[in-house]
Amino acid sequence: MEEIDLPPGFSRPELIDFEGITMNHYFTNSWEKVQNFQARPDDILVATYPKAGTTWVSYILDLLYFGNTAPERQTSLPIYERVPFLEITIPKVLEGVEMVEKLTTTPRLIKTHLPVQLVPKSFWEQNCRVVYVGRNAKDTAVSYFHFEEMNLIHPDPGDWINFLQMFMDGKKIFGPWYDHVCGWWEKKQTYSNIHYMFFEDMVEDTGREVEHLCSFLGLSKAKEERERITKGVHFDAMKENKMTNYSTIPVMDFKISPFMRKGKVGDWKNHFTVAQNEKFDRHYKWKMKNTTLQFRTEI
């Protein structure tokens, strides 16, 4: 593993309140540029709450569009450069808007974790296609906890008990999981260009989900190609692949935890105590009482 080489003066940032959403400055520094971002009609936005399988779907999309035409991309360009993270700004490391604007490929694949109300309006004006991925709250929380421990641009999560309470209170970066998944679900009811996917479905049958993605995107791919992609995006393959496992990025400390950690549905059972689970379930029922959106916590 490469040594971590952080820019001078780098430290874990404070949380801030931004438009009612918990954030830190790495995601708001370039807000004017983000807000004024000019989407193109063929842009594809990959939108998720953190830890829902963003990288997985990003890689699938990249292979669907560029797997055959640009093989050198697969060996030389990390996924976070192929599918830039729009709102991130870590000076000299990752500058999302600039990275998107430098893309020479069509379509441009763009990642965001923004809640639906903060998405730059040009995406809606241009009627861009959006792929949203949701993951059940319990596994998301567990994955996010380990991610905050190792990702130095996030605040130190403290212990699991502290983290879980903050997650339930919606005080994690990108705000409450509950509002995020529900906000995008509601948007889908009035904006038909959203394909709402679930991490659990992808684990259950990746090939089926790749096929559904192709239908949404209007791509006709031979069965053999879909199977090749499905194999290439398997957890074990992505974990070994330096271009998809984030090992080339300086802000993550792999000595604490790998980015490609477990990739399972139900790992929450190894973290939640019985009491925590009961409390979480009661709170969840209350938070999600007005939505038709359903998640699976096991498959």
Catalytic residue list: 113
For residue 215, what are its two tokens? 């239908």
Amino acid at the residue 24: N
CB of 142 to ligand A3P, least distance (A): 6
Give the side-chain half-sphere CA count within 13 A for 139: 22
For residue 261, state whether it binds ligand A3P (rule: CB under 6 A): yes
CA 273 to chain CA centroid, Å, is: 27
CB of 90 to ligand A3P, least distance (A): 16
What is the layout of strands, in order, in the sheet containing 109-112? Answer: 109-112, 44-48, 129-134, 194-198
Q: Which range in 69-77, 95-103, 165-173, 233-241 contacts ligand A3P by CB under 6 A?
A: 233-241
Give the side-chain half-sphere CA count within 13 A for 135: 27
For residue 52, state whether it binds ligand A3P (rule: CB under 6 A): yes
Name the residue among 87, 93, 118, 113 with its Cα closest to residue 25.
Answer: 87
Measured from the CB atom, the residue of 27 and 56 that comes closer to ligand A3P is: 56
CB burial of residue 30 (10 Å; 0-12, 13-18, 19+): buried
Among 78, 267, 279, 293, binds ligand A3P (CB under 6 A): 267
Measured from the CB atom, the residue of 127 and 234 that comes closer to ligand A3P is: 234
Measured from the CB atom, the residue of 102 and 231 that comes closer to ligand A3P is: 231
For residue 56, state whether it binds ligand A3P (rule: CB under 6 A): yes
Strands 44-48 and 89-90, bridge-based pairing = unpaired
Measured from the CB atom, the residue of 59 and 66 that comes closer to ligand A3P is: 59
How many binding residues for ligand A3P (CB under 6 A)? 21
For residue 83, state whether it binds ligand A3P (rule: CB under 6 A): no
Say how far apart CA 102 and CA 99 lie, in whole Å: 5
Q: Which range in 45-53, 63-71, 122-130, 285-293 contacts ligand A3P by CB under 6 A?
A: 45-53
CB of 190 to ligand A3P, least distance (A): 25
Among 31, 196, 235, 295, binds ligand A3P (CB under 6 A): 235
* CA-based R_g, the chain, Å: 18
Q: Which range in 208-216, 229-237, 268-276, 286-294 contacts ligand A3P by CB under 6 A?
A: 229-237
Residue 265 near residue 299 (C-beta atoms within 8 A): yes
Residues 6+ apart with CB under 8 A from 243: 74, 75, 76, 77, 78, 79
Residue 27 near residue 34 (C-beta atoms within 8 A): no
For ligand A3P, the binding residues in 200-219 under the rule CB under 6 A are 203
For residue 226, what are its two tokens? 């879909």
Give the per-residue contact string, 123-162, with ligand A3P (x = CB under 6 A; - = no): ----------------x---x--x----------------
Coil, helix or strand at residue 195: strand
Say how far apart CA 24 and CA 14 lie, in whole Å: 6
Q: Which range in 16-24, 37-45, 66-74, 232-240 contacts ligand A3P by CB under 6 A?
A: 232-240
Q: Which range in 13-21, 32-40, 165-173, 255-263 contacts ligand A3P by CB under 6 A?
A: 255-263
Binding site for ligand A3P (CB under 6 A): 48, 50-56, 139, 143, 146, 203, 233-235, 238, 260-263, 267
